Chain A
């Protein structure tokens, strides 16, 4: 069996979450990686060095530049005949593209796979991570999105895959890319960070959110996350949101500051290795999952913590 992984990239760099998908896919068979982009040779060069990748397919055409699913899905479908599984990471990119591919192939998809049991059997979370469902598929071909935090990243060196150019599919012209507004940050990317400092509604304002959490994140070299309440209140940008409808993270250390710990937030961080909760409410649900909790005012405790580090 051979697996086709759809690489996520920005035409110059391979998104590192793809490395986690490689590890998951190796449990299924040989791994090929498709790089569909415009001027994306450097991405193919990075992909061929990933340990465990056997072949890289490069489809280079202007209409793949912005990873529009209307354009990329027909390409994937044209290549899918040779593969038992089509795989991508469960990021905004993978979630957008793969169900379109699955429907065109008339096969089912398992979203957010956390465990590969065999080639037809997979486990994934349902109900905001309050249950894990194991399903066995009857379709001969399967489409999967992989939860990156559930699998180790494959080494991004040591591989020596052949790069093969594949023909582009015809442009569809159903959609047009208008623009992109990325949150500027020098910090580690949230889903890749080893340490995350996350703030909730208790921060009170965007100024206080930054004033309180930035020095702590700086000291720890951490990424900054937020609860939905903090994002909705405008204290932090949307893409900082950790939870069922935001990002799923599993760092070594997750420090939740002024976050009560609603089900939907826990869904995004309860696989963290060590969880620290700082909250003034001793009954906040976050303390039920925290390895270390401290009850008190975040505005006193966080600066003390920064000083003590």
Chain B
């Protein structure tokens, strides 16, 4: 069995982004970029399935600017066998990414496609579900446990009131939640090794997929924001303020 894992290069999760003065976008020039945290979890899960002998090959794929190669090298250092880079400069919407991933899957014919549940830049939480729809494959989103069981995968999902388990037929699309696993740290020898692993390059033209944006950005604004309030000295003071000033209790 083969696993395809989609990884995205995003602004590092520790960075608080600022909106550009002209309101056109957020300013991500010169900020640290990393692999989307949910995608690290997806790579880790694929590698663990391989280590457990349930998968024979792990292929990482990323779509975007030239520097996505670094993201793919990270995935290779974590244990992916080879990588595919679809290079493009433009910003892509989730639907376009899903269509490109569909084209990659048509070549790779993977049994399990793993993605993060959302990217921490656009916070869309759409790509995995859209890909599943396009492939007419079942989906298990927000996975916190994955067990391959013959021609099915049993996936425990995080839902609002607790947990839910579904069994989905292969080929299947799975998106990862935070609790699925703890991604491994990459060690130096693995980084050196990863440099020798194959990384195939494609352009959008190779797939003939229409990626024309469906949205135009009108503006990007700072959140309304809250100003710091007051610090109180005693609990009695706090209760007084909540009762008489804020009137919330």
Contacts and interface: CB of A to CB of B under 8 A. Distances in A.
Interface of A: 68-70, 73, 91-93, 95-104, 106-112, 121, 125-139, 173-183, 191, 195, 220, 228, 231-232, 237-239, 244-245, 247, 252-253, 263-264, 270, 273-276, 282, 287-295, 301, 304-305, 308-309
A103 B161 contact: no
A238 B179 CA distance: 8
Kindly name the residue among A68, A95, A191, A232 whose own CB sees the greatest number of chain B CB atoms within 10 A.
A95
B126 A109 contact: yes
B195 to A, nearest CB: 32
Contacts of A121: 218
Given A128-B123, A130-B223, A276 B133 contact: no
Contacts of B246: 253, 273-274, 291-292
Contact of A238 (B144, B166, B241): B144
Interface of A is mostly: mixed
Given A95-B141, A181-B162, 14 more contacts: A70-B139, A102-B126, A111-B124, A111-B126, A131-B222, A139-B214, A176-B166, A179-B164, A238-B163, A239-B162, A263-B16, A290-B229, A291-B226, A291-B246
Given A238-B179, A263-B16, A292 B232 contact: yes
Contacts of B11: 127
A290 B232 CA distance: 11
Given A70-B139, A136-B215, A175 B226 contact: no
A38 B47 CA distance: 39
Contacts of A180: 159, 162-165
6 contacts: A69-B139, A100-B129, A103-B95, A136-B218, A175-B167, A304-B235
Given A127-B17, A252-B248, A270-B226, A103 B134 contact: yes
Interface of B: 11, 13-14, 16-17, 19, 26, 93-95, 98, 117-118, 120-134, 136-142, 144, 152, 154, 157-169, 177-179, 214-223, 226, 228-236, 238-239, 241-242, 246, 248-249
Nearest to A254: B248
A165 to B, nearest CB: 26
Nearest to B124: A111
A93 B142 CA distance: 11
Given A136-B215, A137-B215, A288 B228 contact: yes
Nearest to B19: A131
B167 A178 contact: yes
A127 B120 contact: yes
Contact of B130 (A100, A179, A287): A100
A180 B163 CA distance: 6
B218 A308 contact: no
Given A130-B17, A131-B222, A264-B13, A239 B217 contact: no
Contact of B242 (A106, A191, A274, A288): A274
B248 A99 contact: no
